[in-house]
Amino acid sequence: MYRCPHCGGLLDVAHDTDALRDRSAAAWMRLFDERYRVTTWPYGSGVWGKREWVMPGVDDDTVVSMYEGGTNLFWAERYGQGLGLRDCWVKLCGNSHSGSFKDLGMTVLVSVVRQAIREGLKVKAIACASTGDTSAALAAYGAAAGLPVVVLLPRGKISTAQLVQPLAHGALVLGLDTDFDGCMKIVQRLAEEGTVYLANSMNPLRIEGQKTVAVEIVQQLDWQVPDWIVLPSGNLGNAYALYSGLELMRELGVIDRYPRLAIAQAENANPLYRAVSQGRREVEPIVAQATVATAIQIGDPVSAPRAFRALDELNGVVEQASEQELCDAAARADRTGMYTCPHTAVGLAVLEKLVARGTIQPSDRVVCVSTASGLKFTEFKVGYHEGSVPGVDASGRNPPVMLPADYGQVVDAIQARFA
Ligand SMILES: *Cc1c(COP(=O)(O)O)cnc(C)c1O
């Protein structure tokens, strides 16, 4: 069951917070610090190290984990300086098993499915619609558990690396002549008719794992709350997951205030931005236009109602970034040692705009969530440095200098660059 039978709304996992209050806030923090990245199964995982807050009922030998989470909170010192920010951080969620934050939710979902199968549930296959990263994560975790996986992908709208990942893991890969929203409609119907078990983030099990990113950010800042969290978003499940983690921490006294949330959308796929800037409480589905930020090219976000709640509670804002703005931000960040995926670049471009506008102050502590590894998006990087991204002036491009194997010409090239 994925929706409320009465109102059709999405379901939430409810935790017994009274029972969780048996442990004090200080004791929770100590416990999570003790478990952080240990080798004792399964606690070294950023998700299962917090299992009591996530999914307490799964047995150790049923957990399907690849030590997801525990990713670097990168101090973006030089990048932040460029914006006039002293306290700027990037949470590198892409430094994970399959290269994106989707691992955080998938470990929970696949573990619960494995437990249910052991208890007698019949599942032909676990399935998802994907813009590339959900399918990569599902295929990896499914393969680790020995469970069959089907992925529905919009043909030609994901990176080569993302397409190869589920192929390598043996999933049934269906490339459909549509966009993500079209794939989503078909997979929802497959799930409703009982053909497959649904692994998209409308399934609240994913949210439970993904919410640990909020806990981990606060933990890595020595249990201090940042002033802002910037999050590139598409289907909007992760925005709600972030809020959900913050809410639980606040209920249990681990934090006593919330950060503000900035949801970052690509201008070419901006249904939430449109709704909020027109003062609407509902997202009107659009056909998302092409963007290099392919993982958030979504026009009809399933978790939109959840995102409004996150925005209300976290005094949030929604901002958008054009293709030019996101490419510029990626180039700037990469020049300071990051290797940004285009979605992270949407987050950084939005951060830059909010700083320029004074919404984010120079003294604010800001965390931008990096959702995937730049290494999955080689086409984007090559396109930028070749100057071939449509409609984008690649002023920061750095093409290779091709030379014969001639000592003098090599010296000349060095002199020309660093004279
Ligand atoms: C899935 C994904 C997003 C968007 O997350 P939503 O929960 O759909 O809003 C952003 N960036 C990357 C790289 C993703 O894979």
What's the mean pLDDT when you consider all of the chain? 97
Express each pLDDT in 269-286 by its tens digit.
Answer: 999 999 999 999 999 999
pLDDT at 40 > cutoff 90:
yes
**Is 338 within 8 Å of 350 (Cβ atoms)?**
no
Instruction: Report the nearest-CA residue for atom 15 of ligand 1.
Output: 133
Instruction: Report the nearest-CA residue for atom 11 of ligand 1.
Output: 371
Compute the distance between CA of residue 93 and CA of residue 91 in angstroms, rounded to an integer: 6
Mean pLDDT within 143-162: 97
Residue 91 Cβ inside 6 Å of ligand 1? The answer reads: no
Rg, the chain, Cα only: 21
Express each pLDDT in 355-386 by its tens digit.
Answer: 999 999 999 999 999 999 999 999 999 999 99
Amino acid at position 244, single letter: S
> Which pair of tokens denotes residue 284?
């009107």
Can the peptide bond before residue 42 be classed as cis, meaning omega within 30 degrees of 0? yes
Express each pLDDT in 223-237 by its tens digit.
Answer: 999 999 999 999 999
pLDDT at 2 > cutoff 90:
no
Q: Residue 235: what pLDDT? A: 97
Residue 235 Cβ inside 6 Å of ligand 1? The answer reads: yes
Element (H, E) at 129: strand 126-129
Instruction: Report the nearest-CA residue for atom 14 of ligand 1.
Output: 295
Residue 233 Cβ inside 6 Å of ligand 1? The answer reads: yes
Q: pTM score, two decimals?
A: 0.97
Q: Residue 252: what pLDDT? A: 98
Residue 133 Cβ inside 6 Å of ligand 1? The answer reads: yes
Domain 73-98+207-383: CATH class, spelled out: alpha beta
Q: Residue 27: what pLDDT? A: 98
Q: Which of 371, 375, 377, 380 to mutate to test the pocket of ligand 1 (most atoms within 8 A of CB)?
A: 371
Beta bridge partners of 407: none
**Is 324 within 8 Å of 330 (Cβ atoms)?**
no
Element (H, E) at 150: strand 149-154
pLDDT at 1 > cutoff 90:
no
Using alpha carbons, list the distances in angstroms from residue 82 to 76, 77, 253, 322. Answer: 10, 9, 36, 20
Q: Give the side-chain half-sphere CA count within 13 A for 328.
A: 14
Using alpha carbons, list the distances in angstroms from residue 14 to 28, 91, 204, 240, 402. Answer: 19, 27, 10, 14, 59
**Is 125 within 8 Å of 197 (Cβ atoms)?**
yes
Using alpha carbons, list the distances in angstroms from residue 231 to 172, 207, 238, 347, 409. Answer: 31, 15, 8, 6, 46
In the chain, % of residues over pLDDT 70: 100
**Is 190 within 8 Å of 218 (Cβ atoms)?**
no
pLDDT at 419 > cutoff 90:
no
Residue 94 Cβ inside 6 Å of ligand 1? The answer reads: no
Express each pLDDT in 247-276 by its tens digit.
Answer: 999 999 999 999 999 999 999 999 999 999
Express each pLDDT in 46-87 by its tens digit.
Answer: 999 999 999 999 999 999 999 999 999 999 999 999 999 999
Residue 296 Cβ inside 6 Å of ligand 1? The answer reads: yes
